[in-house]
Amino acid sequence: MTTSPLTLRSVQTQDASAIAQLMADLAVFGNTLQLPYASEELWTKRLNAAQTGNGLQLVALKDEHLLGFAGLHAAGPQVRRGHAVGLGISVAQHAQGQGVGTALLRALTDYADQWGSILRIELTVFADNARAIALYERFGFEQEGRHRGYALRNGQYSDVLSMARWHPQPPGLTP
């Protein structure tokens, strides 16, 4: 029996339904700052709004089933922060630990380093999410701080870690 490979591609507006389903799972959205019950319409708006700037949003598919969703998005509207992006990543519970997050993060960091004019990638992660922290550290992210009681999760205020990754070889001018 052969299994099909994982496919990564840019997100499309028609992915909104599958992303809304992915993000409806407590095991997925509970480890993000998303709220439950986000509609397909809300995800359609978010996907359309994210198609600007130097960001990139990807989906991971296997046999046409969405297993993960990740993206780089502007850190803010300030011109002086144009070199920085935020990272968001979500992987279906049944696909966690199978290389989906690694594939998405590899593609996004390659884009950031080779094509996106991105010096710094920033994220926050719940302090007890050891699997995600280990993934980020494998890709060069470092902890920069801890925010106590940062977000409400399952009725409890939880700490998050602030992490960032610098471009490993910032580009310069070629003589």
Domains, the chain, in order of start with CATH, read: 7-166 (3.40.630.30)
Q: In this predicted structure, what is the pLDDT of residue 3?
A: 65
Helix 100-114, helix 130-138: angle, nearest 10: 40
Among 172, 150, 174, 169, smallest CA distance to 32 is for 150
What is the residue type of 16?
A: A
pTM of the entire predicted model: 0.91
Q: Dig out the tokens for 104 from the structure.
A: 């998405």
Question: Residue 130, Cα to own-chain centre: how many angstroms?
Answer: 16
Q: CA–CA distance from 14 to each of 59, 76, 95 (Å)?
A: 12, 26, 21
Give the pLDDT mean for 149-167: 96
Residues 6+ apart with CB under 8 A from 114: none
Q: What are the pLDDT digits (tens) for 25-66?
A: 888 888 888 888 888 898 888 888 776 667 899 999 999 999
Question: Which uninterrupted H or E stretch holds 76?
Answer: none
Starting from the edge strand earliest in sequence, which strands make up the sheet with 142-153, in order? 7-10, 56-62, 65-74, 84-91, 120-126, 156-166, 142-153
Return the structure tokens found at 16: 């909104």
pLDDT tens digits, one per residue of 166-175: 999 998 867 7
CA-based nearest residue to 66, from 119, 145, 27, 11: 11
Query: For position 36, what pLDDT does the model report?
Result: 84
